[in-house]
Amino acid sequence: MPDPKVMEQFKYQELDYDKEIKIGVIGAGYWGPNLIRNFVETPKSRVVAVADFSEDRLNRIHTIYPQIHCVRNYREFFTMGLDAIVIATPPATHYDIAKDVLNHDLHVFVEKPITLQSEHAAELVDLAASKDLILMVGHAFEFNVGVQKLKSMIDEGELGKIVDVEDEAENKTIEVWVE
């Protein structure tokens, strides 16, 4: 559980919407390319660099986005004047990388799960709060119109008693089992 005293100090950050946000992305495997594309297409964000251990993945990213600097070691990001780092690596690496990035005073967007241990997640929340940094976890379908509609239908009792809900992200389908 995050330290309540630290959380009290964690205030809403005013964002300068005219400022371009310079981003580094760690991980160009399964989900990384989707995040890279989304940030490239988002006004006022610029993907400056991508880090991945795989030279093949970096070559593929560089072919699509020749303006992006590709490196094998994300620690090179710390001298690039970035504002935020996106972490799209295997979950077992999230804690160590996010902690390292926060300790270099950069905002963090980390794919879910934030960490594999709740104590590590709480530590990251406390660290971000103590440095007045943003720590955000990616939940791809949290704001999806279909998911919101399904939640509304469940909340209103339109579907009856829910027995099970399964979602298949790969095929973008949700199955709801009712009695």
71: domain CATH number is: 3.40.50.720
pLDDT tens figures, 37-55: 999 998 899 999 999 999 9
Same domain, 126 and 67: yes
In a domain? residue 1: no
In a domain? residue 69: yes
Same domain, 116 and 169: no
Same domain, 59 and 116: yes
Same domain, 54 and 36: yes
In a domain? residue 161: yes
In a domain? residue 11: no
Q: Is the pTM of this model over 0.85?
A: no
Same domain, 72 and 160: no
Q: Of residues 156 and 6, which shows the higher confidence score? A: 156
Contact status, residue 86 vs residue 39, Cβ threshold 8 Å: yes
In a domain? residue 4: no
pLDDT tens figures, 136-151: 998 766 667 777 888 8
Same domain, 83 and 163: no
Same domain, 97 and 172: no
CA separation (Å) from 157 to 20, 45, 147? 44, 41, 15
> Domain containing 73: what range?
20-138
Instruction: Report how many domains make up the chain.
Output: 2
Strand 84-87: give its sheet, edge to edge.
69-71, 45-51, 21-26, 84-87, 107-111, 135-138
pLDDT the model gives residue 96 = 98
Same domain, 129 and 53: yes
Same domain, 161 and 131: no
pLDDT tens figures, 72-112: 999 999 999 999 999 999 999 999 999 999 999 999 999 98
